[in-house]
Structures are given as structure tokens and as C-alpha cells.
């Protein structure tokens, strides 16, 4: 069965590793998938969430690979826009992923977006889909190899990363589930906000609050917080509230209260008219040890996004 998923993924490119280790005249850099949060609805499995596997959990592996330029125009530079005026690159990544299926049959359809996941049955008959118990979390013990091309950094419209072979999924104690995973990632270009101003407070290494005022860009077709994922970024820290999590709207603000990746979140998004919105979020239980000042605050709602560099208010005594 195929399930369309939407959400976000962050590929961290380490330009400091630029080299030509295979001696083919093309330079490459190391890449790691540090965040992936895709969600959708299957009419059979119900809600489906796909994430990159925590390297501190079995099989204790990071999702890494390489990005190699397709032409070498200048030594010592990865020839890929915006680092170069023209160029392209091939990416090969070994992704360790986990899949969480929901509590019951789905009652809707996911909008096509960032990915299509294929879950195939691997039972003795070889043809029927195998459905595990509701609320089950499954993961792959072997990497899913993703291969694709990028025409810019970050990847965008027209780029695609896909697996060529399926990997089997097991439960948390290593018992085979009878399901195999395939994945195709299709990045969607983000539409920039026309304006974004933000205020960030980091009272401790585990707590944060942020308020933002933003206006949608001219190219935007609008936002729909009730059916689109919402991502908040603070430097290297990122959290994505899955599509379908915000409630409310109309004259009342859109709101979310819940736990995402172990962080307790309260968030609201209020339309102010004239394609302008006010956003506020508070988080508790986050790992902000690597967030330095000034901090890049990012907000993504569906395919609309903005970034602001701010000096966070810190209270080291708390």
C-alpha cells in the first residue's frame, strides 16, 4: 500500500568535509539526516508517522551519506547553487527510519507532499498487506538507501530522493512485523514570508518561548494550520507539529497543546487580517544545549516559511 505523507526533513551538510576521497575529480561532502517528521493517513492503518531513528536506540546508527557534485568547476568548492552560480549534485544516504501506525482506520486522505511511503506485506503468500496491531512503532535494522539529485542547497522543486529496495521492519524487541518499507522524498519549495519579526526567550537549557509576527509573501496561496505541518526552529533545534494537530480557526486562534518528540508544547496561531498572523509557542523538556546566540528562529507552516536572526533573552539564574 502507498501512503502520501507531508512534513519536513532536515539534511545537515558538513562543508568542512569537502574532499575527493574516490579520486574521480568530483568533490563531495558528508550529509546527515538530523530530522524527519512526515505524517499522513492510511485507510487501512490509520494515522502513519515516519521519522528518522534516534541513533541512541537500536540499531544505534546515524542516517548519513554523501553529496557529490556532478561537475567540478572550481577546486575547493562544492559546485552547487548557491555556493556556485551553476552546478548540481548526486546524493546517496543510508537512512535508519521508524514508522508509527495509529490507533485505528483512517477517515480521510493525506495531501500529496513531501513523501510517499510504501508498506508491502511480506507474509508467506507474498501478496497481501500485513497489518500490525494499532499504535505499533516499527523500525528498520538495516538502512534504507536513498539516492537522488539536488539542483541547489537546500533541495527544492524538481529534486527527488528515492529508495530502490525495500527494507523489513521489526518491532521494538526485534520481532519481524511482516512489513517492508520503501520511500520516495519529493521536496517542496518553501514560499518565503514577506516579513517576519520574532522574540525568543530561553530561560533554561530545556525551556523556550517564542513570539512572531509574520506576513505571507505574494507568491503564497495561503496557510491552513489545521491540515498542514508546523515547524519551529531554534538554531540546530527543530520540532514539527504533524499535519492535523492544530484545532480551532475562524475568529478563534488555531491552537495545539501536546507532546512532540518528548517536548511539551503549547502553540497558537492567530490571523490578524491582511495576510498577517501572530504566532506564539512555549516548549518544555527540550534539549537546547547546542543553541547559541544569536539564534536563527525559523517558522514553517505548510510550504510557507520565514527566518529571523534574534538575540534570545536568557535567564541563567533559573
pTM of the model: 0.59
Q: Residue 117 has what pLDDT? A: 61
Model pLDDT for residues 43-80, shown as the tens digit of each residue: 677 788 899 999 999 999 999 999 999 999 999 999 99
CATH of 191-314, one of 2.60.40, 3.40.50, 2.60.220, 2.40.10: 2.60.40
Judged against a pLDDT cut of 70, whether residue 258 lies above it is answered with: yes
Q: Residue 115 has what pLDDT? A: 60
Residue-wise DSSP of 16-43: EEEE-TT-SS--EEEEEEEEEEEEEEET
Name the more confident of 41 and 231.
231
- 184-211 per-residue burial string, b: 16 or more CB within 10 A, e: under 16: bbbbbebbbbeebebbbebeeeebbbbb
Model pLDDT for residues 39-49, shown as the tens digit of each residue: 777 767 778 88
Q: Pick the most confident of 151-160, 272-281, 301-310.
A: 272-281
Domain ranges of the chain: 2-185, 191-314
Model pLDDT for residues 123-170, shown as the tens digit of each residue: 323 333 334 455 689 999 999 999 999 988 878 767 889 998 999 999
CA distance linking residue 284 with residue 259, whole number of Å: 9
Q: Residue 316 has what pLDDT? A: 54
Cβ–Cβ < 8 Å for 94, 63:
yes
Longest dimension (CA), the chain: 63
Model pLDDT for residues 17-40, shown as the tens digit of each residue: 999 999 999 999 999 999 888 877
Amino acid at each position: 500500500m502507498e501512503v502520501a505523507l507531508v512534513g519536513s526533513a532536515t539534511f545537515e551538510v558538513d562543508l568542512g568535509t569537502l574532499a575527493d576521497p574516490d579520486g574521480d575529480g568530483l568533490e563531495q561532502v558528508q550529509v546527515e539526516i538530523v530530522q524527519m517528521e512526515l505524517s499522513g493517513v492510511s485507510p487501512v492503518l490509520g494515522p502513519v508517522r515516519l521519522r528518522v531513528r534516534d541513533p541512541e536506540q537500536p540499531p544505534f546508527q546515524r542516517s548519513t551519506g554523501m553529496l557529490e557534485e556532478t561537475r567540478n568547476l572550481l577546486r575547493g568548492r562544492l559546485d552547487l547553487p548557491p555556493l556556485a552560480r551553476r552546478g548540481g549534485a548526486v546524493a546517496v544516504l543510508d537512512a535508519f527510519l521508524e514508522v508509527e501506525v495509529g490507533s485505528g482506520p483512517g477517515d480521510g486522505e493525506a495531501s500529496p507532499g513531501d513523501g510517499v511511503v510504501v508498506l508491502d506485506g511480506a507474509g508467506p503468500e507474498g501478496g497481501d498487506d500485513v497489518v500490525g496491531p494499532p499504535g505499533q512503532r516499527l523500525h528498520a535494522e538495516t538502512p534504507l538507501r536513498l539516492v537522488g539529485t539536488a539542483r541547489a542547497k537546500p533541495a527544492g522543486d524538481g529534486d527527488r530522493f528515492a529508495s530502490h529496495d525495500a527494507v523489513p521492519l521489526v518491532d521494538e524487541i526485534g520481532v519481524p512485523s511482516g512489513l517492508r518499507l520503501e520511500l520516495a522524498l519529493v521536496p517542496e519549495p518553501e514560499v518565503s514570508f514577506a516579513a517576519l519579526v520574532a522574540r525568543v526567550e530561553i530561560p533554561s537549557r530545556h525551556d523556550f518561548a517564542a513570539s512572531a509576527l509574520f506576513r505571507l509573501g505574494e507568491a503564497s496561496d495561503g496557510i491552513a494550520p489545521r491540515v498542514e505541518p508546523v515547524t519551529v526552529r531554534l538554531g540546530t533545534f527543530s520540532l514539527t507539529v504533524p499535519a492535523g494537530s492544530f484545532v480551532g480557526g475562524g475568529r478563534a486562534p488555531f491552537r495545539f497543546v501536546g507532546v512532540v518528540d518528548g517536548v511539551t508544547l503549547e502553540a497558537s496561531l492567530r490571523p490578524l487580517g491582511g495576510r498577517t498572523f501572530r504566532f506564539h509557542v512555549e516548549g518544555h523538556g527540550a534539549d537546547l544545549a547546542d543553541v547559541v546566540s544569536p539564534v536563527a528562529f525559523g517558522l514553517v507552516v505548510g510550504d510557507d516559511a520565514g527566518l529571523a536572526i534574534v538575540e534570545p533573552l536568557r535567564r541563567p539564574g533559573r
